[in-house]
Chains A and B, each alone.
Chain A
């Protein structure tokens, strides 16, 4: 936890840290912190999570490469080919990570069918795509007319948990990625993204990226 905070502060102090790469690195640090907090935060005194009804059919449909790319593009108002690139030019979805995202290339790779189920690399790749796409949108919204993160000042601090700006931002992300409104428990859960490991508010752009990343990497987004 301390290491994450120190790393984060170092990035804040760096001029280059205001760029997309810097933002992505800072957000990655928070992702580690959130995960760690989640692991150590479930003490015996915590109330049990609220029971939610589950499907008993155990049959989910995997949203595969093309639709993932289209959905990121539409949710974040990006061109599909700009959602995520490796080395600045190779499409993450259509070329570099196609098989991991459930696509297949019969012509050059001899893959005549996609894999039946997600690979061990699929979550890593989806994280990569989500972070790239969300980071781009945040940067674009801060540098020009905001399209997605219209309710918050991306150069300021993250909004308060009880603010309209917070609820508007979360609602926008749920509508754009999951085509529904968030429920109260989801509003509550995402407040964890507003502060760092010490409980201090984080920057608004970091919150925006984290919230976008969190919603777009839910099971609900990737499976039908």
Chain B
């Protein structure tokens, strides 16, 4: 273990530097930096499209954060603040410039904020969609067309276009019957092999980030051992299981079981307890973590192996959890929610420097509870296990009493709590809705779709966090079905 820890330290330094570059390097390094601004802004404008389960980014006011530079809206706000205390005076200053058109694009700042365009960039504008002129031989242009939606739905969720007979049949029905047919056939697609295997798997790819050469399918063999550092198929199976059959997708961040697949039928079912590595020639590949320390996708052996690796403080792990399941990429200044007194720079990486602190005041407190989970341990069967002594063993200045995590201003004492708080957050609902919405439309919601998108997010709880029900609702939106 000792040798591994020394190696781990070397790797961790390089890895941490990369994280600092990725997350802190974009940040500003001067006294004007105000990482509390996104949250205060959303307190002032909770109806802003980016404030429902997310936070605005620094780009709302800044042309650059390192060196600090403001766009015209930011300059107007700075002038309106007139040297007042930032936290206390921001809301009033924001109100005072609502009627101005800071970027000169013809829309007032308030109008732009309500639409979700940037009031500080003239090229960020939204023009209403013109009414179509004339008629089409095939579709009802400018209004929801069931046949159009049906064609899209079949391609997306069945993996093929509808047949001629299918489309003729649906066009012969009245609107209600056609809509019913659409949803019946969509339900069949969501229950069919293409969506349950390929379609759902592809949605998880950027969250799981598999690497074949160190996964269960590797062909790399060193000294008679297959270089299986972990098996990402466990991650995919858990994802596919929870995103189907109207299951509660919050379990993606709370499940304490894993999922196996019947090779004959393809049926997925949960399995309890720890799981030894299935291949004695492989380095790893089971799920050795005790169930009580599990938090769904956040604590699979693959997730901890591929993100924590050799880090003492697993910033990358926390950042990927925040990015993949809460929809906020700290390296892009998304979801900046600083914690007072942070970053404490417990591992002496220099992240308290002003240029880094903007992001690390959010990131480091997110990461503390992940430090009790092992990254890569080459002994076999230990990667991704829980060890409460790990942080203190690796980080000399570690103090358990001071190192709870903070997520959205809420103190969480373990990754299990982290996952539960995240799963119940508006950010999770928004992120999962965005994942399925973007897949369905090939883009995020446009300003004219912001209200409909917000309704989708808000109805997720009433639908018991079912991915299938959410997909049915997306297919019913104007954005999906209007040619």
Task: Mark A residues whose CB is within 8 Å of B.
Answer: 51-57, 59, 61-63, 66-67, 70-71, 74, 104, 106-108, 110, 112-113, 116, 175-176, 179-180, 183, 224
Contacts and interface: CB of A to CB of B under 8 A. Distances in A.
A55 B159 contact: no
Given A108-B212, A112-B205, A180 B164 contact: yes
B380 interface: no
Given A53-B136, A116-B442, A67 B160 contact: yes
Contacts of B156: 61
Contacts of B442: 59, 61-62, 116
A83 to B, nearest CB: 13
Interface stretch (B125-133, B178-186, B244-252, B288-296): B125-133
A112 B443 CA distance: 16
Contacts of A107: 210-212, 215, 217
18 contacts: A52-B134, A53-B141, A55-B136, A56-B129, A57-B129, A59-B441, A59-B442, A63-B155, A104-B202, A106-B205, A106-B210, A107-B211, A107-B215, A112-B205, A112-B209, A113-B205, A113-B206, A180-B167
Contacts of B142: 55-57
Contacts of B479: 59
Contacts of A74: 160-161, 163
A223 B148 CA distance: 11
A1 B198 CA distance: 46
A71 to B, nearest CB: 5
Nearest to B154: A67
Contacts of A176: 164
B277 interface: no
Q: On chain B, which size bracket covers the interface?
A: 35 or more
Contacts of B209: 106, 112
A57 B202 contact: no
Nearest to B206: A112
B129 A63 contact: no
Interface string B128-157: 011111111111011000001001100110
A56 B132 contact: yes
A135 B159 CA distance: 24
Interface class of chain A by DSSP: loop
Given A61-B442, A107-B215, A54 B132 contact: yes
Contacts of B141: 53-56
A224 B134 contact: no
Interface class of chain B by DSSP: loop
A224 B156 CA distance: 10
A150 B326 CA distance: 55
Nearest to A54: B132
Interface of B: 129-139, 141-142, 148, 151-152, 155-156, 159-164, 166-167, 194, 198, 202, 205-206, 208-212, 215, 217, 441-443, 446, 479, 482-483
B135 to A, nearest CB: 5
A54 B151 CA distance: 18
B482 A71 contact: no
Most buried by A among B131, B148, B206, B479: B206
A57 B160 contact: no
Nearest to B161: A71
A224 B155 contact: yes
Given A70-B159, A107-B211, 16 more contacts: A52-B136, A53-B136, A54-B132, A57-B129, A59-B441, A59-B443, A61-B152, A61-B155, A70-B160, A71-B160, A104-B205, A106-B210, A112-B205, A179-B161, A180-B138, A224-B152
A175 B441 CA distance: 25
Contacts of B164: 175-176, 179-180
Contacts of B151: 179, 224
Contacts of B132: 53-56
B159 A66 contact: yes
A62 B440 CA distance: 11
A106 B213 CA distance: 11
A53 B136 CA distance: 5
A57 B135 contact: no
A53 B135 contact: yes
Contact of B133 (A53, A61, A183): A53
